[in-house]
């Protein structure tokens, strides 16, 4: 009885996958053309047709990509221009006008974190502390690393005697920037307000090492 012969496993070359080669030829020129002409399954006439179409589809694809890229840049540019215009009103102390401008910006670009930050600053200048806190919270929602929003919200939480919330905000600032002296100082004030003297003095001490001017007086007043 003759030995049973186990057939060798059949392997296909990557360029023998006909539809893959057609797609690569149309959209990944000229790499796809190389595989197309190596393909042993596709008739030569089809290879010629695809080869003729390949540069055309590549140009169209690149044109669409360039258009979309330009559109994205245009959108970013538009947002920045609107932000500058709104901030100009803010710097001129036209806070209501600034809020209206930030409203327009946010309507078109609802994830623009700094627009919420500055709208919050505008509400703060108008005395609406709670509305400002809402804006800072939105700024953080769309950019969890927006340290200015954390810091400003922390200051307002101190004003509203929400000291534990303030400590949480300053914790975040310090988490992102361990050399931010004013965050240590105001966290120290918040800790002192809830009689956490040891933590307060540690914060004042760190703020002093980081050259925050009011830290020395706070150490004398609260820690000696």
pLDDT at 73: 42
Burial of 139 (0-12, 13-18, 19+ CB in 10 A): buried
- The answer on pLDDT for 43 being more than 80 is no
Band of pLDDT at residue 45, cut at 50, 70 and 90: low
- The answer on pLDDT for 200 being more than 90 is yes
* H/E element, 49: helix 44-91
pLDDT digits (tens, 9 = 90+) for 54-64: 554 555 444 55
Query: What percentage of the chain exceeds 70 in pLDDT?
Result: 66
pLDDT at 82: 85
pLDDT digits (tens, 9 = 90+) for 92-145: 999 999 999 999 999 999 999 999 999 999 999 999 999 999 999 999 999 999
Band of pLDDT at residue 11, cut at 50, 70 and 90: very low
The answer to whether 117 and 139 have CB atoms below 8 angstroms apart is yes
The answer to whether 126 and 117 have CB atoms below 8 angstroms apart is no
Q: Give the whole-angstrom CA distance, residue 131 versus residue 148.
A: 16
pLDDT at 124: 96
pLDDT at 38: 53
- The answer on pLDDT for 159 being more than 70 is yes
User: Which residue in this structure is represented by tokens 């409203």?
Assistant: 103
pLDDT digits (tens, 9 = 90+) for 84-93: 888 899 999 9
> Mean pLDDT across the chain, nearest whole number?
79
The C-alpha angle with vertex 66 and arms to 64 and 67, in degrees rounded to 5, equals: 65
For helices 95-108 and 113-125, the axis angle rounded to 10 degrees is 160
Least confidently predicted of 55-59, 71-75, 136-140, 182-186: 71-75
């Amino acid at each position: 009885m003759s030995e049973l012969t186990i057939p060798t496993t059949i392997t296909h070359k990557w360029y023998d996958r006909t539809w893959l080669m057609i797609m690569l030829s149309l959209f990944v020129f000229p790499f796809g053309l190389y595989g197309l002409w190596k393909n042993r399954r596709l008739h030569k006439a089809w290879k010629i047709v695809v080869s003729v179409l390949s540069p055309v589809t590549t140009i169209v694809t690149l044109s669409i990509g360039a258009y979309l890229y330009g559109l994205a840049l245009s959108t970013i540019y538009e947002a920045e221009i609107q932000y500058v215009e709104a901030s100009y009103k803010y710097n001129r102390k036209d806070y209501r006008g600034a809020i209206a401008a930030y409203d327009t910006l946010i309507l078109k670009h609802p994830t623009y974190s700094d627009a919420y930050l500055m709208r919050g600053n505008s509400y703060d200048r108008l005395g609406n502390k709670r509305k400002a806190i809402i804006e800072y919270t939105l700024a953080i929602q769309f950019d969890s690393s927006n340290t200015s929003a954390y810091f400003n919200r922390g200051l307002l939480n101190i004003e509203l005697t929400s000291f534990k919330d303030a400590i949480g905000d300053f914790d975040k600032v310090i988490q992102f920037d361990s050399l931010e002296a004013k965050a240590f100082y105001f966290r120290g004030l918040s800790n002192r307000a809830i009689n956490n003297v040891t933590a307060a003095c540690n914060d004042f001490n760190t703020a002093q090492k980081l050259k925050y001017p009011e830290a020395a007086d706070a150490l004398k007043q609260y820690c000696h």
